[in-house]
Structure formats: structure tokens, C-alpha cells
Amino acid sequence: MFNRRRSLSFLALACTALLALPAYAANVDGKAGIGFEETLTSVGLRQTLSGGTDMPDVRPSGLAGRYWIGNVGLEAIFGASLKFGDTFGHSGFLAIGTHYAAFRAPDVNLTIGVRGIFAWANVNQDDRDLGSRYGFAVEVPIRVEYFFTSAFAIAAAVGPVLHFPSPWRTDRTGVAAPVRNPLTTNTSSWELALTRGEFSGGLGFTYYFL
């Protein structure tokens, strides 16, 4: 009970502080920005239908760049990782999207967009190539961006996600086998989710420097 009261008090204090901040016009026409963005796919496995117990190879969140032309925003998000040791591996993703500013308030923009995500994962062990895996997903983020200043904003998003099944691959023995999707751990199934079950997916920030 004490922790709950402390949490509610902290939330009330944070809301009061936000309301006390001056309002900034959320006009981003002609502005470019850089920051961090979590895609809706990045929240992991817990609310998916794949039935597995392991985590995806790629949880796409990373460096984000965006540019606005009127009410239309262009977006690119990129992330990659390398693994060293007994095994060597690399994985990463590239997301390209566009957003439309449907509603504007003095310091808040609400946008609706579409985003495509391409991901890959590869693991080599004992000089043996275990093969590359690829995944593709489409998201429809409904995104709220709040401007603390005219140059800095935070954002949160929610929306549906569609993951495509990975293609089958023929190994060196000539046997065709399903390939694990690096985004979901699925092999040959389509997956449609509304929010992926967590609020953490879709958070980000942007610093507008132009």
C-alpha cells in the first residue's frame, strides 16, 4: 500500500510539473531530427502467439532520424549488434516509415503512420555457417509526440503489427526446413497483434536541430 501511494504521489507530481511547463507550438514543418525510437515490434515475445519460450533474435529499437514536410513526416530507424566469443554472430534491422500529423495542439502532435521493418540474424559457430534468417513486419503506429521545448520531444505509440512468415530454406543435405523469423521466433506462421501487450514498445525521443 505504501509503495502504491508513493507511486501515485510521484505520478501526480510529474503531471503537475508537465502542466507547469510553457506550451510550445508543435510545428515541425521543414525540421529534421535525430533520436531514439522503439518500434511496436520491440517489446518481445510475451504477448505473441508463437508458443515459444525464447526471445526473438532482433528486438528493433535504435537510432532514429526523421524529417517533416508539412504534415507528412519521413522516418528511418536502424540498429545492429555483433556477438564475439565461441560463436560469432551479427543481427540488425532497418525500419522505414511515414507519418501524417492528423491532430495538432499547442505542444502535442498526434500522428498516424505506416512502417516497414526488415530484420536479419546470422550465427557462425566453429567456422560453420549456420545460415542467415530474415524477417519482415508492417506496423501502423498511432503516435503522440509531446514537446518539452521547441527542439526536444518525447513520444509514445500504439497500433497493430503484422509479421510475415519467413521463407523455407534448403540446407546442405537438400532437406527443406522452415526458418525461424528473427522478429518473432515463428517459423511458418503469420502473426497479427494489436499492441504486443506492453506499453514499453513505441517509446522514443527526438531532438530537432533544423
Within a domain: 125: yes
Rounded to two decimals, what is the model's pTM? 0.75
- Residue pLDDT, tens place only, 52-102: 445 567 888 899 999 999 999 999 999 988 777 666 678 889 999 999 999
Within a domain: 8: no
Cα separation, 71 vs 22, whole angstroms: 23
pLDDT greater than 90 at residue 134: no
Continuous segment of H or E residues that includes residue 152: strand 152-158
- Residue pLDDT, tens place only, 7-33: 445 445 555 554 555 545 568 889 999
Within a domain: 16: no
pLDDT greater than 50 at residue 49: no
Within a domain: 19: no
- Residue 128: CATH number of its domain: 2.40.160.20
Please state whether 159 falls in left (phi above 0), alpha (psi between -120 and 50) or beta: left
Percent of the chain with pLDDT over 70: 61
**Residues paired with 77 in a beta bridge:** 64, 95
Check: CB of residue 111 under 8 Å from CB of residue 134.
no
Domain containing 36 equals 26-208
10 vs 5, 16, 152, CA distance in Å? 9, 10, 23
Within a domain: 10: no
Task: Label residue 47 by pLDDT band (50, 70, 90).
Answer: very low
Q: Considering only CA atoms, which of 69, 36, 70 is closest in space to residue 206?
A: 36
Within a domain: 61: yes
Q: What does the block give as the cell for 203?
A: 517509446
**3 state DSSP class of 29:** coil
pLDDT greater than 50 at residue 171: no
Work out how many domains the chain is built from and give that number.
Answer: 1
Quote the pLDDT of residue 150: 86
Burial 177-206 (b: 16+ CB within 10 A, else e): eebbbbbbbbbebebebebbeeeebbebbb
